[in-house]
Chain A
Amino acid sequence: ESLAIMLSFGARSAIRARPASAVAARSLSTLLVGEHADGKLSEATLSAVTACKSFGDVELLLGGSACKAAAEGACSVAGVSKVTFAESAILDHGVAEEWTPFIVNAQKASGATHVVAASSAFSKSVLPRVSALLDVAMLSDVIDVKDDSTFVRPTYAGNAIATVSSSDAVKVVTVRPTSFEKAPTSGGGATASPSADAPVAVGLCTWLSEEVKKSDRPDLASAKVVVSGGRGLKTGENFAMLDSLADKLNAAVGASRAAVDSGMCPNDMQVGQTGKVVAPDLYIAVGISGAIQHLAGMKDSKTIVAINKDPDAPIFQIADYGLVMDLFEACPELDKKLSK
């Protein structure tokens, strides 16, 4: 009943009416920096919404010349209280120097206690800048939230799990999308409004071009099934065997660092400590020995299959099903038997 009265007075008067001790406990709110493509919020951002559920109201911040459709769509995401967007070409391509003042200003305007984003190349590049300007420490790649100031994150390539508590007034956090369920895209009732503060070009850095690999397959970071190849495949051409398996399993294709470094496949396919972190239902490691750095990127997969001719390969220690067999025999046989 008292809550209803407080709400009817609005947040400001409710705070004034509280005893001094309650005022000291600042109310929590989150500024969630979202990513979008083709008029839709990214799946990783939906996972980040879930991670924010103990940080008060969630204001989603979107930017870029074509972000309005994504902003309107995001209003129905359960857990989002407000959507603020800036339709500005200055924010296209996620240039860190341009995004930083935009996010810092939004944090100052809202007084958000938490600035959050899903871990990605974009957020890893921008949020540390934001954090430095706010003079706070940052928490990267959080895999669990204990309370509004206590976070769990992997260190040493996932071989030590640290629980850390922050005493900073503002918590700047990136969350690992594979560790949180995606928030439902319906049930929310937020409204989208343009940002009051239009970005002003800083101009320190100019985006020139990009080289994006187009694929019809599911996105590696969010695919339900991943087939990955390593040094054992010997040549880039042999990845065609994995492509064929992937097509039958509706899977994404990944790679170990050894395969990427030897030029067998592009960098964005790399799974591991320094590449992408995946946690699909099924991960099939083909010709991958299982170095610590690779395991860091896939060991939270639900079911792991290893195909390797070396029975002592470390990958077999974590694989649910290990097949000791030459991959050049195993893959075609698997392919044939999946066709049936």
Chain B
Amino acid sequence: DISEWAPLQRNMLRVAAAHSHRVNRTFTRDMKVMVGVKRVIDYAVKIRVKPDKSGVETANVKMSMNPFDEIAVEEAVRLKEKKVATEIIAVTVGPTASQEQLRTALAMGADRGVHIVTDAETLPIHVAKLMKAVCEKEMPDVVILGKQAIDDDCNQTGQMLAALMEWPQGAFASELTIKDGSLEVTRETDTGMETLAMKTPAVVTADLRLNEPRYATLPNIMKAKKKKIAKFTPDDLGVEIKPHLKVISVEDPPKREGGAKVESVDELLDKLRNVAKVID
């Protein structure tokens, strides 16, 4: 029934109208940026599937901040260095150990942290709801997340958060500029690039080309230890981690029988023409 969705559309228009008087606001004093960071298996680790097919081995494996989130944090810090942003809040959802990645974000230049502590397997829909609760408390002007986590490869959380907040989104951003309180995002598409203009508050997800993240220096790592991290549970935020998906199995991908070498260009062409038959 379409009629039950009319309120949704009306609400969206209301939100759009509410945004319109914020457009001319200039961020001279109080622009808050929120960044999301996720603890994942380090990108360089060759992962191992558990023998019982229940998942991927994470015990005694090197963990790091998701590379796309490093880019998100870097962008926030650059906004602060350009005196566009005044405060950066780094948020993570995960077990106690995720605090390590939050500290890394603080060492890169975030001002304070919010840790939503949970041992539950969280899906992007859960993380988006938890981040929404934090957004409602903190009211950031811009939220920057990575475009995807390199473990679940979902590429969903930023878009979901934007939808739940009824905010615009600039997904897969390779460039971000803030002019007179409105945001211009250049995003990567299948055929090239496109540029969007949006009102704030907004959610941006970082693509690889947005920037080159810095390394945290030792003095900054020491300073980060003094920065504050607020802790909440999903319960504190009134968010239920409802089950949606059940993992039936996790397996190794089929192995390729590669490894054969050819001696010359002639032999290569002969194989391609007469054995693989992929060229004329």
Residues of A participating in the B interface, judged by any CB pair closer than 8 Å: 93, 95-97, 100-101, 104-105, 108-109, 120-122, 124-133, 135-141, 150, 154-168, 196-197, 200, 202-213, 221, 225, 249, 257, 260-261, 266-268, 273-274, 276, 281-282, 292-293, 299, 302-305, 316-325, 330, 333-334, 337-338
Question: Are B250 and A129 touching (Cβ within 8 A)?
Answer: no
| B residues in contact with A133, CB < 8 Å | 8, 163-164
Choose among B49, B247, B252, B271 the residue that contacts A321 (Cβ–Cβ < 8 A): B271
Question: Are A202 and B13 touching (Cβ within 8 A)?
Answer: yes
Question: Are A137 and B123 touching (Cβ within 8 A)?
Answer: yes
Stretch at the interface among B25-33, B185-193, B213-221: B185-193
Residues of B participating in the A interface, judged by any CB pair closer than 8 Å: 1-2, 4-5, 8-9, 12-13, 15-16, 19, 41, 43, 46-47, 49, 56, 123-125, 128, 147-148, 150-164, 166-172, 174, 184, 187-199, 207-209, 243-253, 256-262, 264-266, 268-269, 271-272, 276, 278-279
Q: A108-B4, A305-B272 are in contact. Are A211 and B148 (CB under 8 A)?
A: no
How far is the CB of B239 from the nearest CB of chain A, in Å? 12
Choose among A95, A213, A334 the residue that contacts B265 (Cβ–Cβ < 8 A): A334
How far is the CB of A41 from the nearest CB of chain B, in Å? 15
Question: Are A160 and B125 touching (Cβ within 8 A)?
Answer: no
A105 to B195 CA separation, bound complex (whole angstroms): 27
Question: Are B156 and A140 touching (Cβ within 8 A)?
Answer: yes
Question: Are B159 and A129 touching (Cβ within 8 A)?
Answer: yes
Interface of B is mostly: mixed
Question: Are A211 and B250 touching (Cβ within 8 A)?
Answer: no
Question: Are A303 and B276 touching (Cβ within 8 A)?
Answer: yes
| A residues in contact with B12, CB < 8 Å | 101, 202, 204
Question: Are B245 and A164 touching (Cβ within 8 A)?
Answer: yes
Please name the residue on chain B nearest to A174 by beta carbon: B155
Question: Are A154 and B191 touching (Cβ within 8 A)?
Answer: no
How far is the CB of B34 from the nearest CB of chain A, in Å? 17
Please name the residue on chain A nearest to B161 by beta carbon: A132
Q: A160-B49, A274-B148, A303-B272 are in contact. Are A197 and B245 (CB under 8 A)?
A: no
Please name the residue on chain B nearest to A276 by beta carbon: B190
Question: Are A322 and B198 touching (Cβ within 8 A)?
Answer: no
Please name the residue on chain B nearest to A197 by beta carbon: B2
Question: Are B169 and A205 touching (Cβ within 8 A)?
Answer: yes
Choose among A163, A292, A337 the residue that contacts B248 (Cβ–Cβ < 8 A): A163
A114 to B169 CA separation, bound complex (whole angstroms): 24
Choose among A93, A159, A165, A203 the residue that contacts B246 (Cβ–Cβ < 8 A): A165
Choose among B47, B159, B272 the residue that contacts A159 (Cβ–Cβ < 8 A): B47
Choose among A154, A266, A320, A324 the residue that contacts B258 (Cβ–Cβ < 8 A): A320
Choose among B41, B199, B260 the residue that contacts A320 (Cβ–Cβ < 8 A): B260
Question: Are B265 and A156 touching (Cβ within 8 A)?
Answer: no
How far is the CB of B238 from the nearest CB of chain A, in Å? 15
Question: Are B247 and A164 touching (Cβ within 8 A)?
Answer: yes
Question: Are B125 and A101 touching (Cβ within 8 A)?
Answer: no
Question: Are A160 and B246 touching (Cβ within 8 A)?
Answer: no
Question: Are B196 and A204 touching (Cβ within 8 A)?
Answer: no
| A residues in contact with B262, CB < 8 Å | 321-323
A207 to B187 CA separation, bound complex (whole angstroms): 11
Question: Are A322 and B2 touching (Cβ within 8 A)?
Answer: no
| A residues in contact with B190, CB < 8 Å | 120-122, 221, 268, 276
Choose among B2, B4, B163, B198 the residue that contacts A128 (Cβ–Cβ < 8 A): B163
| A residues in contact with B9, CB < 8 Å | 101, 105, 200, 202
List 26 A-B pairs, Cβ < 8 Å.
A93-B194, A124-B171, A125-B169, A128-B158, A129-B169, A131-B160, A132-B160, A140-B156, A155-B153, A156-B56, A160-B252, A163-B248, A163-B249, A164-B245, A203-B16, A204-B16, A204-B167, A274-B148, A274-B207, A282-B272, A299-B253, A321-B268, A322-B261, A325-B265, A334-B265, A338-B279
Question: Are A211 and B193 touching (Cβ within 8 A)?
Answer: yes
Question: Are B189 and A268 touching (Cβ within 8 A)?
Answer: yes
Question: Are A141 and B153 touching (Cβ within 8 A)?
Answer: yes
Question: Are B195 and A138 touching (Cβ within 8 A)?
Answer: no
